[in-house]
A = this chain, B = another copy of it.
Amino acid sequence: MDAVPHVVIVGGGFAGLWATRGLASAPVRITLIDRGNHHLFQPLLYQVATAGLSAPDIAAPLRHILRRQRNATVLMGEVVAIDKAGKQVRLSNGDAIAYDALVVCTGATHAYFGHDEWAPHAPGLKTLDDALAIRRRVLCAFERAEAERDPARRTAWLTFAVVGGGPTGVELAGTLAEISRHTLRKEFRNIDPGDARVMLLEAGPRVLATFPEALSAKATAQLSKLGVDVRTGVPVAGIDAEGFALGEERIAARTVLWAAGVAASPLARTLDVPLDRAGRVAVRTEDLTLPDHPDIFVAGDLATLQRADGRPVPGVAPAAKQMGTHIANVLRARFAGKPAPAPFRYRDFGNLATIGRRAAVVDLHGWKFSGYPAWVFWLTAHVFFLIGFRNRVVVLLDWAMAYWTYQRNARIVLGKEPPR
A residues within 8 Å of B by Cβ?
A: 36-38, 54-57, 59, 61, 63-64, 67, 73-77, 93, 95, 128-129, 132, 139-140, 143, 146-147, 186-190, 390-391, 393-394, 397-398, 401, 407, 409-415
Contacts and interface: CB of A to CB of B under 8 A. Distances in A.
A189 B62 CA distance: 13
A146 B393 CA distance: 31
Contact of A54 (B57, B75, B187, B407): B57
Contacts of A59: 412
Contacts of A129: 414-415
Given A54-B57, A55-B414, A75 B146 contact: yes
A394 B143 CA distance: 27
A147 B411 contact: no
Given A139-B37, A140-B76, A407 B188 contact: no
Interface SS of chain A: mixed
A188 B56 contact: no
A61 B139 CA distance: 10
Given A75-B147, A143-B76, A414 B187 contact: no
A112 to B, nearest CB: 22
A412 B381 CA distance: 24
Given A64-B407, A390-B401, A414-B132, A37 B143 contact: yes
Contact of A55 (B54, B77, B188, B397): B54
16 contacts: A36-B413, A37-B412, A38-B411, A54-B56, A54-B57, A55-B414, A64-B187, A75-B146, A76-B140, A128-B412, A390-B401, A390-B409, A391-B409, A394-B398, A394-B409, A415-B415
Nearest to A139: B37
Given A37-B139, A54-B54, 9 more contacts: A37-B140, A37-B413, A55-B55, A73-B189, A75-B147, A76-B146, A76-B147, A397-B397, A415-B415
B186 A67 contact: yes
A56 B187 contact: no
Given A186-B67, A414-B129, A95 B147 contact: yes
Contacts of A190: 73
Contacts of A57: 54
Chain B CB count within 10 A is highest, among A128, A143, A190, for: A143
A195 B207 CA distance: 55
Nearest to A136: B37
B61 A412 contact: yes
A55 to B, nearest CB: 6
Nearest to A29: B189
Contacts of A38: 411-413
Contacts of A36: 413
